[in-house]
Amino acid sequence: MRLATTFRDHRHLRSQGVLCQADGSPMSADIVKHRVERAARRAQIAQNGVHRLRHTFCSHLAMRGAPARAIQELAGHQDLTTTQRYMHLSPAALDSAIRLLDRLWNTP
């Protein structure tokens, strides 16, 4: 809920960057890289680079059922095919889709 509130409160800010300062100005690549690396160390997870955040963002929205066009807009992609390259589904999400088909085809 806190993330949704923060996003809503800052939605009016527009920036060419994916991540920005509180005033809407873009963060430098070095600042973003440093913050992501520090967060990864604190969380004791492998550092996969900043670009991974875009894939994670789009993938998690897709797995939660967000429409592809909404993900496209939130990611700032001009073309839906770009967004689709970022949307990776988990094996559980694929299994869920297969179960939906199974229920559809096995309904009397």
Query: Domain coordinates of the chain in residue numbers?
Result: 1-50, 52-108
Coil, helix or strand at residue 20: strand
For 70-99, b where at least 16 C-beta lie within 10 A, e where not — what string?
ebbeebebeeeeebeebbeeeeeeeeeeee
Residue 94: band (very low, low, confident or very high) from pLDDT cuts 50, 70, 90: confident
Average pLDDT, the chain: 84
Q: Bigger pLDDT: 19 or 89?
A: 89
CA angle 45/17/62 to nearest 5° reads 60
- Taking the mean position of all CA atoms in its chain, how far away is CA 5? 17
Predicted model pTM: 0.60
pLDDT in tens, 33-82: 888 888 888 988 887 777 788 888 999 999 998 999 999 999 989 999 99
